[in-house]
Amino acid sequence: MVIVARVERFFTRKLTMKALFILYIASTFLGLFWIGFNFNNNVPQNSSKEDIAFLTKRLIELEKSEEHLKSLIKSKETNNEDLPIIFVVTPTHSRLEQKAELTRLCQCFMHVPKLHWIVVEDRESRSRLVENFLSKCKVVSSHLFVKTPDESVLKANESRWKKPRGVQQRNVALSYLRFEHSRSKGVVFFADDDNVYDLELFNEMRHTQKASVWPVGLVGKLKYETPVLDSQGKVIFWRTAWKGTRKFALDMAGFAVNLKLITDSPKVQFRSGRSIGMLETNFLSDLNLELSDLEPKANGCTQVLVWHTRTEKPVIKNEGKMLKIPVDQREV
C-alpha cells in the first residue's frame, strides 16, 4: 500500500491531463479484465465465501482507485490557468459568534479552487482575531476594514429593516477589486458571514457572463425566494413576499456578477437609496443590467444551494457564575 501511495503521489505531481486520462481508462479496463479473469478461471462454480469476500474487497479497492483517478482528473481540470477567479466578498463585524461563522465559511471555501476571499471588517482597524484566523485559514484572502459611520449603525431599539448592513464594507471591496484586479478574469459574489453555502453553488457561478441568479433558501419569511423563469428559461419575475415590484427582487446571496461589469462601471457602489431593502436591486440596476441579461443557475432555479441562515445570539449570562474559576484570555 505504501508503494502504491508513493506511485500515486508521483503521478499526482508529474502527470499531464492526457496521461491521467489514459491511466484512468487503462486501470479501469485492467481492473475489469482482472475481475473477469478471476471469475472465469480462479473461482470455482461453488466458490467459497472467502473467495467472494476477497473479490468483493478487491472490487471495492478498484472502485476506490477509480474514484481517486477521477478526482485527480477533475482537480487537473479545475486548476486550469484560464479558470475565472471567484472573488467572495464578506463583510463581518465583531461579536461572540464571529469566529464560529468565519470558521464555517473558511472550511467551505477551502474546497473551492481559485477562490479569493475578501474579508472586510466593520472596524477602524484590523482585529487580532480575524488576522490570526485568516493566517490559519487555507484560503487565499485579503483582509480589509472600514467602520460603518455611527449614524448608519442600527440602534438597539430599531428594526433591522431600518438600516442596511455591510454597505461600506462591500464598497471598500469594490474599490479594492477595481484597483488590484482590474485585469483579472473573475466573478464577484457577496457572501455574508452567517449564511450557508453549498459547494455546488461555486461551480454554478464560475462562468457568469454578466450576472447569474439562483434561489435562496429561508429568506423573506419564505421557504425560499427565487427568480421565476419563462418557458425559454429567462427570468420574468420573482417569487418574493416583499416588494415584488423591485426590478431585481433578490437577496444579496442570490446573485454573482462578472468582475468586468464592476471594473467597467467605476462609480457604481452599494447605496440604500431613500427606500429600505433596495441594496441589491439598486446595485444591479446601476450596473445597467436588464432582466434579459440574467443567467439563471441551479438547474433552471429549481435547486436551493444557499441558505440565508441567521445564528441565534449567544447568551453568556452564566459567565457571571464562573468567578471562582480564574478567567483566562482564550479566544472564542
Residues that bind ligand UGA (CB under 6 A): 90-93, 122, 148, 160, 164-166, 169, 192-194, 251-253, 279, 308, 310
CB of 12 to ligand UGA, least distance (A): 37
CB of 160 to Mn ion, least distance (A): 9
Q: Can you list the alpha helix ranges (DSSP code H) found in the chain?
A: 2-14, 17-37, 49-78, 98-109, 128-136, 167-180, 200-205, 259-264, 279-286, 298-301
- Considering CB under 5 A, how many residues would be counted as binding Mn ion? 2
The grid cell for 97 is: 459568534
Comparing CB distances to ligand UGA, the nearer of 148 and 208 is: 148
The residue whose Cβ lies closest to ligand UGA is 166
Comparing CB distances to ligand UGA, the nearer of 122 and 204 is: 122
Residue 251 binds: one of ligand UGA, Mn ion, none (C-beta under 5 to 8 A by kind): ligand UGA
Q: Which of 121, 225, 280, 295 is catalytic?
A: 280
Comparing CB distances to ligand UGA, the nearer of 122 and 295 is: 122
Bridge partners of 123, per DSSP, are none
The grid cell for 20 is: 491521467
The grid cell for 144 is: 480589509
CB of 97 to Mn ion, least distance (A): 12
- Considering the rule CB under 5 A, would residue 193 count as an interface residue with Mn ion? no
DSSP codes joined into one string, 52-95: HHHHHHHHHHHHHHHHHHHHHHHHHHHT-TTSPEEEEEEEE--S
- List the one residue out of 164, 154, 194, 192 whose CA is nearest residue 314: 194
Residue from 192, 204, 280, 295 touching Mn ion (CB under 5 A): that is 192
Comparing CB distances to ligand UGA, the nearer of 69 and 169 is: 169
**Ligand-binding site membership of 194 (annotated):** yes
CB 99 within 8 A of CB 332: yes
DSSP codes joined into one string, 254-292: GEEEEHHHHHHSTT------SSTT-HHHHHHHHTT--GG
CB of 310 to Mn ion, least distance (A): 5
Regarding beta strands 306-307 and 115-121, do their DSSP bridges make them parallel or antiparallel, or are they unpaired? unpaired
* DSSP state, residue 322: G
Comparing CB distances to ligand UGA, the nearer of 159 and 245 is: 159
CB of 143 to ligand UGA, least distance (A): 14
Whether 151 is catalytic: no
Which residue ranges make up the site for Mn ion (CB under 5 A)? 192, 194
List active site positions: 280
Annotated binding-site members for Mn(2+): 194
Annotated binding-site members: 194
